[in-house]
Amino acid sequence: MKESEYQKPLPTISSLNRPYWDGLRRRELRLQKCVGCGLTWYPPAPLCPGCWSRKFVWTQLSGRGRISSWVVFHQAYFRSYEADIPYNVVEVELDEGPRVLANLLGANSEIRYGMPVEIVFDDVTEEVTLARFKPRTV
């Protein structure tokens, strides 16, 4: 879809978070991992939130995790989401530790705490691929 056709909010891509967005376009979930203490974190930040080290590497994650919280929106706070009501926003605790906010494909009524999920790459524009999730069996 061309950017002009996609009406929902888009991320601001900066030098700090570009490896994350470039990774999603390549079907890879990449986050920063601290060389000093081993912590992996989200969202992208210039230093480790665990030990404040500036030494990190962008590492590829499994894209697997479990639902740790969620909400279902019944009111459209953005006009571009009106057709999606009711829609969910889930918090996924990734197997590697970080928690990310995303949308879960499937029925809102089937969302459960601890539900195993895996990443889905959604190309919303030529430049932007979003991370969404879907249920997985194991």
Pick the closer one to Zn ion by CB: 53 or 69. Answer: 53
d(CA 5, CA 84) in angstroms, rounded, equals: 16
Decide if residue 37 touches Zn ion (CB under 5 A): yes
Decide if residue 48 touches Zn ion (CB under 5 A): yes
Is 119 exposed, middle or buried, given 0-12, 13-18 or 19+ CB atoms closer than 10 A? buried
Pick the closer one to Zn ion by CB: 50 or 106. Answer: 50
Least distance to Zn ion from the beta carbon of 55, Å?
A: 8
Least distance to Zn ion from the beta carbon of 86, Å?
A: 39
Those residues whose C-beta lies under 8 Å from the C-beta of residue 109, and which sit 6 or more positions away, are none
Look up residue 106 and give its DSSP letter.
S
Residues forming the site for Zn ion (CB under 5 A): 34, 36-37, 39, 48, 50-51, 53
